[in-house]
Amino acid sequence: MRENLREKDRLKDFLENHPYNLAYKFVDSVNLDLGIYFEPMRNYLDLAYVGTISIGTPPQEFKVIFDTGSSDLWVPSIYCSSPACANHNVFNPVRSSTFRISGRPIHLQYGSGTMSGFLAYDTVRFGGLVDVAQAFGLSLREPGKFMEYAVFDGILGLAYPSLSLRGTVPVFDNLWKQGLISQELFAFYLSKKNEEGSVVMFGGVDHSYYSGDLNWVPVSKRLYWQLSMDSISMNGEVIACDGGCQAIIDTGTSLLIGPSHVVFNIQMIIGANRSYSGEYVVDCDAANTLPDIVFTINGIDYPVPASAYIQEGPQGTCYSGFDESGDSLLVSDSWILGDVFLRLYFTVFDRENNRIGLALAV
């Protein structure tokens, strides 16, 4: 979405109107030996990872973000009047024999915009799994530029049920309740630069995607996939999260998001300058010379090298992988560890034990 807006010179207006805030509120698809269900995702320019699901009988296909920062599933509907819906796949209830309507109006807010629509139920399929009578949202309006330039049609949330629409059961919870998976967990492997190779797996962990051991961290608040972080440092000096802070592991966020004043200081340290569009631009050579920024979690260091926190755009301009949260994060000193971090570390989301597993991705 950033790339599309950047090319149309509309990114500055978008970023001003949407300071970052959280959502309130090609592999075999099944490994029978391990009982794992794999859903491949396409990597768009290291900015978004998109998988394909289908809804209804017969199936209607949609590209979605598998998002650990929200809990609801929604896609555009044929009744949507917004320009965004004209550019994306839309769901037609009339064509599905398994569709059930609730009629209940819904309103979802995300970091980049909002979706208004209504609640419905139908069969959802992905990665070899068939989830029946799944609650999902159908959009009637997608205001602003939120979805118009997005490479995906909708969002499939994988955060805790406490973040979902009242009275609904999120997709992952239904997979478990319907006995479709043998372990109550899922995991993400995000590729670097390559369009192919990224995967979200359900019901088990494929150890070939990481090296060493998984380091387990308890979930500190069962809403988002939230944990306690010890510090953020560079060259052995703490530069952020001094004395500890909260962090949210979010596959639906491209960057590393933190409190404005702290991130501003980091931008200065790495020599980033704010561009006309409102993004922070860095000298591309810095990716080879700047030191690692180390995120310490549960006593273990997770270094992020400059080659990861400095990202090269298609035009050869390099951008900082850090962004400011504005003042809208639920805890003022909290961070969001998005895809910049998750490309480096294979991540397991263990609902049974309410913990997050991190290991070096291969």
Q: Please give the DSSP secondary-structure letter assigned to residue 77.
A: B
Residues linked to residue 223 through DSSP beta bridges, in sequence order = none
d(CA 186, CA 158): 9
Active site residue 250: yes
> What is the spatial distance between Cα 187 and Cα 346, in angstroms, rounded to a whole number?
7
Amino acid identity, position 332 = S
- CB 59 within 8 Å of CB 125: yes
Of 67, 72, 153, 230, catalytic = 67
173 is known as an active-site residue: no
Q: In terms of DSSP bridges, do strands 154-157 and 60-67 run parallel, antiparallel, or are they unpaired?
A: parallel
Among residues 72, 230, 250, 350, which one is catalytic? 250
Tokens representing 89 are 């796949």
Structure tokens at 105: 């109006």
What value, to the nearest 5°, has the Cα angle with vertex 336 and ends 331 and 337? Answer: 150
Strand partners, 284: none
DSSP string, 144-191: TTTTTT-S-SEEEE-S-GGGSPTT---HHHHHHHTT--SSSEEEEE--
The residue with tokens 């004395």 is 243
User: Is the sign of the CA dihedral 249, 71, 181, 96 positive or negative?
Assistant: negative
Supply the residues annotated as catalytic. 67, 250
